[in-house]
């Protein structure tokens, strides 16, 4: 069996547009054979999901979740391509799961591209200072900082977060799986998370 290298995973990702873990799992299943791994992803419909990601999403649902005790609530807009898919139970469950995710994991942004440059620069500065204060050599500092930024995205960006019902899958992977099943592009447009007392604390 061929070794599952980072380069092999990267190549499969570039070919299919599938997520890193999905590519790694497909390569493991295909014993390191790139074309067989691509077939595995195609069978699962994941490879085609990435190709649908550019299609317009003008339909969808606004989902809500109010936590027990009514001290915390979420509204989320999730879009798809047709009213038909928006009315399915599967889509409704996804919207509900996403509202629960936002309530539990408190993301600040939908995607990492939405993080303002000044927020990212400040976080990079903080992590660099921490790394150097820990006595790490300056030549490896930048690599460690980038690793910690991945953690920052995982904590603050909805798509990067581990799914609360299955930590082995990210929200991005969950959505791609639903795209594969429905045959339509699905996107999260926006959300708001309201917690009693937060307005006064600001």
In order along its 202 residues, the chain shows pLDDT tens digits of 567 888 888 887 767 667 677 788 888 888 888 888 888 877 776 655 666 666 777 899 999 999 999 999 999 999 999 999 999 999 999 999 999 999 999 999 999 999 999 999 999 999 888 888 888 887 788 888 888 899 999 999 999 999 999 988 899 999 998 988 888 899 999 999 999 988 765 5
Query: What residues does CATH 1.10.8.10 cover in the chain?
Result: 6-52
Which CATH superfamily is 6-52 part of?
Ubiquitin-associated (UBA) domain (1.10.8.10)
> What is the CATH code for 116-155?
1.10.286.20
Query: What residues does CATH 1.10.286.20 cover in the chain?
Result: 116-155
In the chain, the N- to C-terminal Cα span, in Å, equals 56
Do you know the residue count of the chain? 202
pLDDT in tens, 120-175: 999 999 988 888 888 888 778 888 888 889 999 999 999 999 999 998 889 999 99
List of residues 6+ apart from 32 with CB closer than 8 A: 1, 2, 3, 4, 8
CB-based burial label for 182 (10 Å; 0-12, 13-18, 19+): buried
Taking domain 59-111+157-201, whether its CATH number is 3.30.479.20 is answered by: yes
The structure tokens 């989902």 sit at 63
List, in sequence order, every residue forming a beta bridge with 191; answer none if it has no partner: 76
Report yes or no: 12 and 18 within 8 Å, Cβ to Cβ.
Answer: yes
């Amino acid at each position: 069996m061929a070794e599952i290298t980072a380069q092999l995973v990267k190549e499969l990702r570039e070919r299919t547009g599938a997520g890193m873990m999905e590519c790694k799992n497909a390569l493991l299943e295909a014993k390191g054979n790139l074309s067989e791994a691509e077939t595995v992803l195609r069978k699962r419909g994941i490879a085609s999901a990435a190709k649908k990601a550019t299609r317009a999403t003008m339909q969808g649902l606004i989902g809500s979740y109010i936590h027990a005790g009514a001290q915390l609530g979420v509204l989320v807009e999730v879009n798809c391509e047709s009213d038909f898919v928006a009315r399915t139970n599967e889509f409704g469950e996804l919207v509900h799961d996403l509202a629960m995710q936002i309530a539990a994991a408190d993301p600040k942004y939908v995607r990492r591209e939405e993080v303002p440059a000044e927020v990212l620069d400040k976080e990079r500065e903080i992590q660099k200072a921490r790394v150097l204060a820990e006595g790490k050599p300056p030549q490896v500092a930048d690599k460690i900082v980038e690793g910690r930024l991945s953690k920052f995205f995982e904590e603050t960006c909805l798509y990067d977060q581990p799914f609360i019902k299955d930590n082995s899958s990210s929200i991005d992977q969950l959505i791609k799986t639903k795209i594969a099943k429905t045959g339509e592009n699905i996107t999260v447009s926006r959300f708001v998370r309201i917690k009693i007392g937060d307005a006064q604390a600001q």
